[in-house]
Amino acid sequence: MKITNLLILIIIAPTIYFASRLIFADYFDPDSLFSKEFKVDLKKKLKLLNSNKRQMSNKKLDFEFSEMIEMFALATSAGESLLGGFKFLASFPNSGHAQLFHEVIALSDNGISLMQAVDLVAERSGSESFRKFANTVLLALERGSPLSAVLLNQAAESRSSYKADLLALAGRAEIALLIPVVFLILPLSVIFTLWPSFHSILGIL
């Protein structure tokens, strides 16, 4: 190996090592990169990443559902009946929750009471946001609470939760942006800064 390449390697290697420890400390131990435990840990991290993606997809659906809830609350406060409000929500195009309201309407048309239909669909769907919506509607009707105000609060809470998740995701993305800075820009900056000195040393040697 030439002396120049050796000097460059001496400069870059510690930078890469400590940068990797700093950036990836939450994901794995760089010292165990070639161990069997690392492969197992990497598989777990990939599964966790896929799980996080599914959670964000569900959060996005919940955010869209919060907008539907808000429109439903406005419709009921303007005098629309519950069944009419459900039909309005069922007409939403490209919505993952519109089909659930279609099922509610179908059960209601078959003779099941509207509240029982909502409860049955909520149990079948497995959707946490729809289950919460159903519970909110049922409790509001039982207690005589103003339905529109309760639903508007639920929609606001859902939006706040989604925004908090987006901020957390943006924070992780900022950390990912450090990778090209640490591994590419910083080493090159060090090389260009110290190259005149190395060139003079090589000239003396």
Flag whether the pTM goes above 0.85. Answer: no
Contacts of 75 (CB under 8 A, 6+ apart): 84, 85, 88
Evaluate whether residue 49 is within a structural domain: yes
- Give the pLDDT band (50/70/90) at residue 171: confident
Q: Say if residue 34's pLDDT is above 50.
A: no
Evaluate whether residue 166 is within a structural domain: yes
Contacts of 178 (CB under 8 A, 6+ apart): 23
Q: If you average pLDDT over residues 78-104, what whole number do you get?
A: 84
Instruction: Give the type of residue at 108.
Output: S
Give the domain extent around 100. Answer: 21-199
Q: Say if residue 48's pLDDT is above 80.
A: no
Give pLDDT, residue 134: 87
Evaluate whether residue 2 is within a structural domain: no
Q: If you average pLDDT over residues 13-19, what whole number do you get?
A: 63
The tens digit of pLDDT for each residue in 101-133 reads 889 999 989 988 888 898 898 888 777 778 888
Are 123 and 114 in contact by the 8 Å Cβ rule? The answer is: no
Mean model confidence pLDDT for the chain: 73
Q: If you average pLDDT over residues 145-174, what whole number do you get?
A: 79
Evaluate whether residue 13 is within a structural domain: no
Q: Say if residue 31's pLDDT is above 70.
A: no
How many domains, the chain?
1
DSSP state, 184? I
Are 70 and 152 in contact by the 8 Å Cβ rule? The answer is: yes
Evaluate whether residue 205 is within a structural domain: no
Evaluate whether residue 15 is within a structural domain: no
Cβ burial, residue 150 (10 Å; 0-12/13-18/19+) = middle
Evaluate whether residue 30 is within a structural domain: yes
Evaluate whether residue 194 is within a structural domain: yes
Q: If you average pLDDT over residues 6-12, what whole number do you get?
A: 64
